[in-house]
Copies of this chain bind each other. A is one copy, B any other.
């Protein structure tokens, strides 16, 4: 098993969907990534920052999942990052209602000494300079995975390109891949992104699944078709956490093993959206995950007989 460093937000979210709304609940990219990765009992550390208003019980919950929280800075006189959003009826688009950076504004990530030699690094969505700051602290990373979003393309593109040049894998959604490359075809977009640095490109297509590109090879992981999507918040982070958690657990960074890692990420994401926030992930059992992996197998496997 390899060690895993996770950097990203630990936050409060307030969410409104057609099914209901929440007060401030636990959220943040590093939270979802960590909870997903913890399904594989990895030796993982969360590097993030919260304010004095952040409940000790949430910190304890993360620690109880086996996640190291030495790198989770608590700024006692600061407030935790807060995001509020409202999903439209089709659940594929949302409006951001509130974004309060708070303690995130001056966040200086510190990787705990014992995790500087981690093989796997998961850079959750954050300012590219913060992501760069984490890469620079790592002594011998074997697999650096980057998640990002269109916001940084719009307002910090040069810094984002610097990070992209340094990572092995990028996870990005389809519209963002098109924006980053100017290519409509995802095959061509992935080719362009390869030239920017990453040897592996994961394009997330929401309810349509995800594509993995490496050299001339492709892999297509479906999303599980669901009767209801209750709350999509954190699904992309959960996917990334399942992906990197599985890779850290197995220590095998081959294309073949990444296929299985993506299926694990997709399976975990399919749970995430069943309830508000982290609720479903926190209570998830290994047995439930195994059953869902079997569903993914049934969903996609077929025999070809070349008649």
Contact = CB atoms under 8 A, between A and B. Distances in A.
Interface of A: 40, 89-90, 184-188, 205, 208-209, 211, 217-222, 225-229, 249-250, 256, 259-260, 262-263, 290, 293-294, 296-307
A218 B225 contact: yes
Given A305-B260, A307-B249, A299 B226 contact: no
A187 B295 CA distance: 15
A115 to B, nearest CB: 22
Give the most central of A184, A296, A297: most B CB within 10 Å.
A184
Contact of A89 (B184, B227, B307): B184
A294 B218 CA distance: 12
Contact of A225 (B211, B301, B303, B306): B211
Count identical subunits in the complex: 2
Contacts of A217: 298
A31 B205 CA distance: 33
A140 B262 CA distance: 46
Contacts of A89: 184
Contacts of A262: 302
B299 A220 contact: yes
Contact of A184 (B90, B211, B298, B304): B90
Give the most central of A89, A188, A299: most B CB within 10 Å.
A299
A304 B184 CA distance: 32
Nearest to A263: B302
A294 B250 CA distance: 28
Give the most central of A90, A187, A225, A256: most B CB within 10 Å.
A225
A140 to B, nearest CB: 24
A299 B219 contact: yes
Contacts of A221: 302
